[in-house]
Amino acid sequence: MRRSPRTDLRWSDVTPRASFLSRRQMMAATAGAVLSAMPRTGQAGIATVPSDYSTGEAPNSLADVTGYNNFYEFGTGKDDPAAYAGSLTTDPWAVEIGGLVERPGSYDLADILSGVTLEERIYRFRCVEAWSMVVPWVGFPLSGLLDRVGVGAGARYVAFETLYRPSEMPGQNHAILDWPYREGLRLDEAMNPLTILATGLYGEEMPNQNGAPIRLVVPWKYGFKSIKSIVKITLTDTQPPCTWNQTNPREYGFYSNVNPAVDHPRWSQASERRIGAGLFAGRQETLLFNGYAEEVAELYAGQDLAQDF
């Protein structure tokens, strides 16, 4: 990966499209292998491969996924991001990767994506506010990127920062949160294969309101951990400050693993409302680690989940 910012190539120029199969896929097709490049959600767009980590649950509609959002940089209403995020400039885009890494630098998104196999990951998504969706993300494991830049000795956490650009993010002109939005993971959480950087959904580039052009998705944690529009990734040896945790540490823990047995101080987390399920659908039970216990429970062996909430 090149570190220097480059102006000749836009990241969208190198995002693989279904109509331009990669060499590897061409050769596989020639060899008569089953071609799995088309997203299962059926839309022509970015070439993705399916993932064993995808849920078989029905995805929410594109209208739900792109019309009911939390992205406080554009306002606190669920329809504010769809209304106001459209004018955010997402190309060119670079991510500064630093701290305890072997190859720190400013990486153009085009370089981050070059050679990367994009997967479709259909994940349950559970907001701390007790609503949920199923989202067909397009993305790749964060571990792959961290391996490419080289995790440095002594790194124990990964910190993330959202773009700070009040001229395009009107919410940042108000002290709703301590901008820029910051989040963090323990290194083992960041390296877990479920943790992805997502660059799209429904087989298309990421809509601005969902965190274009690149955002984190950690499906076993409450949605606010899945930070949007990332411009900075820093590996650290100490637990990094996180926006919601700093705003109200009693209500929003550093871990924020989905847990039906640990209530939010102001509401129960035992059940959730599935967006789009219909007026009479009723609430559904919330699952420990949002149903991903098999993949992630061992990360927390020996920890008291009520204490480390």
Contact residues: ligand MTE, CB under 6 A: 69-73, 127, 162, 181, 210-211, 223-224, 226-229
Nearest to ligand MTE of 14, 64 (CB atom): 64
Minimum distance, C-beta of residue 26 to ligand MTE, in the bound complex (Å): 33
Minimum distance, C-beta of residue 279 to Mo ion, in the bound complex (Å): 22
Nearest to ligand MTE of 25, 69 (CB atom): 69
Taking Cα atoms as reference points, which of 51, 42, 48 lies closest to residue 16? 48
Minimum distance, C-beta of residue 4 to ligand MTE, in the bound complex (Å): 26
Whether 180 contacts 135, CB under 8 Å: no
Amino acid at 36: S
Nearest to Mo ion of 140, 244 (CB atom): 244
196 binds, among ligand MTE, Mo ion, none (CB under 5 to 8 A by kind): none
- The 8-class DSSP code of residue 160 comes to E
Minimum distance, C-beta of residue 126 to Mo ion, in the bound complex (Å): 8
181 binds, among Mo ion, ligand MTE, none (CB under 5 to 8 A by kind): ligand MTE
228 binds, among Mo ion, ligand MTE, none (CB under 5 to 8 A by kind): ligand MTE
Minimum distance, C-beta of residue 156 to ligand MTE, in the bound complex (Å): 23
Beta strands in 127-223 (DSSP E): 131-141, 157-162, 182-186, 196-201, 204-205, 215-217
Minimum distance, C-beta of residue 140 to ligand MTE, in the bound complex (Å): 17
Beta-strand relationship, 230-236 and 182-186: unpaired
Nearest to ligand MTE of 25, 132 (CB atom): 132
Nearest to Mo ion of 118, 228 (CB atom): 228
Give the number of other Cβ atoms within 10 Å of residue 102's Cβ.
12
**Tokens of residue 300, six digits:** 């927390």
Whether 108 contacts 162, CB under 8 Å: no
Nearest to ligand MTE of 25, 66 (CB atom): 66
Whole-angstrom distance, CA of residue 140 vs CA of residue 222? 20
15 binds, among Mo ion, ligand MTE, none (CB under 5 to 8 A by kind): none
Coil, helix or strand at residue 129: coil
- CA 180 vs. chain centroid, Å, equals 17
